[in-house]
């Protein structure tokens, strides 16, 4: 596995998407995990100046969906998220958060991921569970 090439591909694939808007960057990958980071600043704040739960959920879903791409035939299949559950543990006003998706179940039609989100001090910010469905690309 060429980590640099994989991360470059994921980051290039994020151009002109919500991931680019939120400055999400994929930074590490392994055989059963993917990690991305997102800066915490006014772009991702709610009105009280704290990290918005929706931005955190978008980070979790982005890394969980991207991680599923390791296990599919990218020419004939694609991933759709079908369920995301997230618990917010601690607030964050500034800095960086890191989301690591770890595979819990890899089936032919569904993938289940646990996504742990921590800050730069390894403080737990949020915990998510995400289910993806593997769909076949329909030929016209």
- State the Cα–Cα distance between residues 13 and 18, nearest whole angstrom: 11
Classify 57 as helix, strand or coil: helix
The answer for residues whose C-beta is within 8 angstroms of residue 81's C-beta and 6 or more apart is: 61, 64, 65, 130, 131, 132, 133
| Annotated catalytic residue, options 61, 94, 114, 122 | 61
Query: 10 Å Cβ neighbour count for 58?
Result: 20
Q: Is position 61 annotated as part of the catalytic site?
A: yes
Tokens of 67: 């991680």
- Find, among 113, 126, 114, 117, the residue nearest to 98 by Cα: 117
Tokens of 28: 């590490």
Residues annotated catalytic, as ranges = 61
């Amino acid at each position: 596995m060429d980590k640099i090439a994989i991360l470059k591909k994921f980051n290039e694939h994020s151009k002109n998407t919500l991931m680019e808007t939120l400055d999400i960057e994929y930074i590490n990958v392994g055989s059963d995990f993917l990690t991305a980071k997102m800066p915490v600043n006014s772009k991702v704040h709610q009105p009280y100046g704290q990290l918005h739960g929706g931005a955190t959920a978008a980070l979790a879903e982005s890394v969980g969906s991207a991680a599923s791409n390791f296990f599919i035939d990218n020419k004939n299949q694609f991933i759709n998220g079908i369920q995301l559950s997230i618990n917010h543990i601690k607030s964050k006003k500034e800095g960086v958060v890191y989301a690591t998706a770890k595979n819990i179940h890899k089936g032919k039609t569904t993938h289940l991921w646990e996504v742990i989100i921590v800050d730069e001090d390894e403080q737990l910010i949020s915990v998510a569970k995400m289910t993806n469905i593997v769909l076949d690309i329909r030929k016209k």
